[in-house]
Structures are given as C-alpha cells and as structure tokens.
Amino acid sequence: MSDRYKYLLPEKDLPKAWYNINPDMPVNPAETAWNAVLHPGTKEPVTPDFLSVLFPMRFIGEAISMDRWVEIPEPVREIYKLWRPSPLYRARRLEKALDTPAHIYYKYEGVSPVGSHKPNTAIAQAFYAKEEGVVGFTTETGAGQWGSAMSMACNLFDLECHVYMVKVSFYQKPYRRILIESYGASVTPSPSDKTQYGRKVLAEDPDTPGSLGIAISEAVEAAVTSNGKYKYSLGSVLGPVLMHQTVIGLEALKQFEMAGEYPDIIIGCAGGGSNFAGFAFPFLHENFTNGQNTRVIAVEPTACPTLTKGEYTFDYGDTAAMAPVVKMHTLGHTFVPPGIHAGGLRYHGMAPHVSALLDNGDIEAVAVHQIPTFEAAVQFARAEGIIPAPESAHAIKVAMDEAIKCKEEGVSKVIAFNLSGHGHFDLGAYDAYFQGQLEDYAYAEDKVKEAMTHLPEVNLG
C-alpha cells in the first residue's frame, strides 16, 4: 500500500462514453425514465413533440435510450479536458483527525471552473442546443451553481442564457449572481414580474423566499412562450442529466484501481440526485453485473427530506404544474422548504431513477440536520484544507459518521464520497454558522401533509 494522497488520471483516460443505467434498472422502465413521464395537462405519457419544445432532440433521445454506453461527443470531451479528469483524494488527515481505521476517499468536483459538478451536463446540453441552431437557454438556479455552469457552457458555445434565480439565494449569494453575469448571462430574482406565473406568486405572497420549483416554472414558461428561440435546461433530476454526471464515477472506478482498493460504502448528497447518481451509478453497475456489494447512501437535509419522508408517487416537477409529471419521491410540488444554506438541496422531488432504486432497496437514504453538517464541514476543512459547499457537506457528515462507526466496531472499511463542489461562494453561510445564527429546522410535517393534497390525479390504465 502506497502512502499517496491523490490519484490523478491523464487526459487520455477521460471516459469516452457515459454510463446509461436505463437497461440495468432493476425495475420496470415504465416506473422511471421515459414512458412514465406524463403531460402536466392531460396526464397522458408525453410525446417527443411536447418535450422538444423544452429540450434539444438529442437530449430527449438520451432519455429513452436503452444503450448502456452513450458516446460523449468530441466537442464536449474537449471542454471537459479544461478540468477533467478530476482528482480522487485519500483523506489521510481526516482519517487521522477521526482516529479511524477506515480509509476515506473523496472525488473532488470543485476543480471545475465554476466549482461544482454541474458543468458535466451543462456543456453537453449547450452543445446539443447549438447543434439544433437555437438562440439560447432559459433556466433556473437555486444557490447559483447551476446558473453559473449553464452561463459558462452557453458562453463557450456562443448561446444566450437567461437565469431565474431563487430570490433567497439571489440576496444571500450575490457573488454567485456576479459569477453568472461574468460569463454573460442575465439573472432575474424569482419569483419575478417577467412571467405570468411569477406575477401570480408575487400577488399571493410578495415576501416569499422563492423556491426551485417556482423558478423552474418561470424558466419553463419563458422557454415555452419563446416560439422556439429558447430551450429550457434542467440541471438535475432527468435521466440524461444523471447520465452526463456518470463521468465522475467512471473516472473514480479507474482511480480506485490505481489505489488498489474498492469502496465498501459510496456516499453522495442528493438535491435532485445528479451528483449522487453520477458518482454512484457506475458502482451500482458493478453491484448489478460484477458481483460487487457496495453500500450506496444518498444524503439529504432534514429540512427537505424527499427520500426519507417523501412518498413515492406521481407529482409535477415544478410548483406551477407546468413541467411533466413523473413518479418520484416527493414532498408535494407546492411544498416550499425552509431557507437552509444548502440551496441546491431544496427541491421537493427526487430523480425518478434514484427514487426507484431506493424503493427497490438498491440504495439507502439518510437525512441530516444543518448545524452538525456545518460542524462536519469545518472539521473536514481543517483537516483537508478544502472548504466544501454546504450541499457536499451533507455527504461529508455521513462519511465521517460511518468512519466513526468503523472505529467503534474496530473494522476498516473503504468509504468514498463525492465532494460535489467547493464553498468559496458560500462563506456567508459559514459566517452565519460561526456566529451561531444557524437553525436546525424540524421536519415540517403539517406543511408537507398539506402539499401532498395537491398531487395530480393520475390514471395509468
């Protein structure tokens, strides 16, 4: 065993294909990706025509593809090479700080230009739209990571980008907004008076902090009413987005070969599920087909516990009920989660694939509170040097808990988590933590119960 700290792949080892989990899903495909995506009005399975108003055709093709390996287009690989392959670290100093016999590894996606995993799909989506000759994209952003990824991607392919940013984040995270604007996109706090839906929400509740669901509705409305000028891009949840992110786990598999180890536990934080899926699905593929038995854990905030408390049922992807209806773990599309600082984890639903895998027992889910999560983040930063994004800190918290369990049980396991991004634009949240201003929100059971009365009526004959 060497005493290396990091495992770096040369550019030539950048994967040439993404892993598409559709053919390996252990459930009926009608439960996940494609023929269970329903039109928000008719509740009938959507047609490619309906979807093609929103998304590039190639993206829709990926959603229904049953090919296990989907080639990464060369122009996308060329841009990936600006920062990929990303490093896999052995967290030796954290192991020491925890005095654990566990081996802790983390894959670091914070090395991308915008500091998170999100460009892995933004680049692909922008390339597909460019191929179709559209003018640009509308999109939403929570904490601002998706907006900055999309803004960078659009700029690289010479496309316009219009971002609806959840209002609470717009004001909490001005530097993210400025980053988005630096790449040339426009940013609007959501709800806004630019869309019919935004005006309706503001009329009902002028002081709303906004939510990802509301911002999605505004961005979808702006694309749908643009006469084909703009496509809409989603940064998580959908099958193709999860697939684009598998470049993370595929690199990690090669890096574990270099390390001469294989993970017993894989951990990722889950907002819509994309960084979790991107890291975990290639390892699940090994579980399904190669006799591996790795535990796979998705971590979410207690304030928005979609997987651990949400029901697995059909719901709208957005608050205004304009986006397609899918079967997923949901807290109800009208649920507005408390304004925790991990803005990227404030979504009412969860990727259908991730939901189905949980339902089938292939993965586990854990919810953690905000304050212990920041405690873990700070301990990690003081051991390893990297200030993690508050979202990523959820994965760190559970990795540390598992490492401490190893110590108590006297066993050495290999624990790997995805460090989905750095926290340099989230220092306001760290400041609030250091000043003792953070709250642990109890699960808002009553609000969720109320939201669950607004589920769509679906009759899948």
Ligand X SMILES: *Cc1c(COP(=O)(O)O)cnc(C)c1O
Residue with smaller CB distance to ligand X, 302 or 392: 392
Q: Is 116 in the site for ligand X (CB under 6 A)?
A: yes
Q: Which of 236, 246, 287, 334 binds ligand X (CB under 6 A)?
A: 236
| One residue of 275, 287, 319, 355 binding ligand X per CB under 6 A | 275
Q: How far is CA 257 from CA 251, 265, 377, in A?
A: 10, 16, 28
Stretch that binds ligand X, among 13-21, 211-219, 265-273, 405-413 (CB under 6 A): 265-273
Question: Residue from 139, 195, 306, 392 that binds ligand X (CB under 6 A)?
Answer: 392
Tell me the CB-side half-sphere exposure of residue 300, using CA atoms within 13 A.
31
Q: Which of 15, 85, 239, 271 binds ligand X (CB under 6 A)?
A: 271
Q: How far is the CB of 457 from ligand X (least distance, A)?
A: 28
420 lies in the binding site for ligand X (CB under 6 A): yes
Is residue 233 near ligand X by the rule CB under 6 A?
no
> Rounded CA gap, 269 and 271, in Å?
7
Q: Which stretch binds ligand X (CB under 6 A): 3-11, 41-49, 180-188, 271-279?
A: 271-279
CB of 274 to ligand X, least distance (A): 3
368 dihedral zone (left: phi>0; alpha: psi -120 to 50; beta): beta
Distances (CA, A) of 216 to 96, 198, 333: 43, 10, 11
Closest of 383, 376, 421, 382 to residue 399, by C-alpha: 376
Q: How far is the CB of 277 from ligand X (least distance, A)?
A: 8
Q: Is 86 in the site for ligand X (CB under 6 A)?
A: no
**CB 52 → ligand X: shortest distance, Å?**
23
The reply on whether position 344 binds ligand X by CB under 6 A is yes
Q: Is the bond preceding 191 in cis, omega lying within 30 degrees of 0?
A: yes
Q: Of the candidates 216, 76, 248, 63, which has an alpha carbon nearest to the alpha carbon of residue 146? A: 216
- Cβ proximity to ligand X: between 324 and 349 the closer is 349
Query: Of the candidates 198, 240, 273, 349, which one interacts with ligand X according to CB under 6 A?
Result: 273
Identify the bridge partners of residue 88 per DSSP, sorted by sequence position: 7, 107
Listed ranges 170-178, 331-339, 376-384, 387-395: which one lies at the site for ligand X (CB under 6 A): 387-395
User: How many residues interact with ligand X (rule CB under 6 A)?
Assistant: 20
Residue 144 DSSP class: S
Considering only the stretches 282-290, 323-331, 389-397, 437-445, report the one whose residues sit in contact with ligand X under the rule CB under 6 A: 389-397
CB-nearer residue toward ligand X: 125 or 275 = 275
d(CA 236, CA 79): 20
Binding test (CB under 6 A) with ligand X, winner from 90, 103, 107, 118:
118
Closer CB to ligand X, 243 or 406, in the complex = 243
With binding defined as CB under 6 A, does residue 270 bind ligand X?
Answer: yes
**Of 218, 251, 384, 391, which lies in the binding site for ligand X, with binding defined by CB under 6 A?**
391
**Helix, strand or coil for residue 80?**
helix
**Segment contacting ligand X (CB under 6 A): 167-175, 206-214, 274-282, 284-292?**
274-282
| CA–CA distance, 28 with 23 (Å, rounded to integer) | 10
Instruction: With beta carbons less than 8 A apart as the criterion, state whether 303 and 340 touch.
Output: yes
- Closer to ligand X at the Cβ: 169 or 319? 169
d(CA 354, CA 362): 9
Spell out the residues 6+ positions from residue 152 whose beta carbon is closer than 8 angstroms to its own: 113, 114, 119, 122, 183
Residue 305 interacts with ligand X (CB under 6 A): yes or no: no
Reported as half-sphere exposure (CB side, CA atoms, 13 A), residue 95 has a value of 17
The residue nearest ligand X at its CB is 421
- Please name the residue ranges forming H helices in 306-425: 306-309, 352-359, 370-384, 390-409
CB of 410 to ligand X, least distance (A): 33
Following DSSP, what letter does each residue of 201-215 receive, concatenated? HHHH-TT----HHHH
Decide if residue 274 touches ligand X (CB under 6 A): yes
Closer residue to ligand X (CB): 273 or 332: 273
Please give the sequence-ordered ranges of beta strands (E in DSSP) within 248-363, or none if there are none: 265-269, 295-301, 311-316, 325-330
- Shortest spacing between CB 202 and ligand X, in angstroms: 25
Stretch that binds ligand X, among 173-181, 183-191, 264-272, 443-451 (CB under 6 A): 264-272
- Other CB atoms within a 10 A radius of the CB of residue 42 amount to 10
Laid out side by side, the sheet with 136-141 consists of 186-190, 160-166, 136-141, 230-233
Name residues contacting ligand X, limited to 130-159 (CB under 6 A): 145-146
Cβ closer to ligand X: 319 or 420? 420
373 forms part of the interface with ligand X (CB under 6 A) = no
Task: Please report, for residues 250, 304, 357, the alpha-carbon distance to residue 236 in angstroms, rounded to integers and kept in the order given.
Answer: 18, 16, 16
Please report whether residue 272 would count as binding ligand X according to CB under 6 A.
Answer: yes
Interface residues toward ligand X, by CB under 6 A: 116, 118, 145-146, 236, 269-276, 344-345, 389, 391-392, 420-421
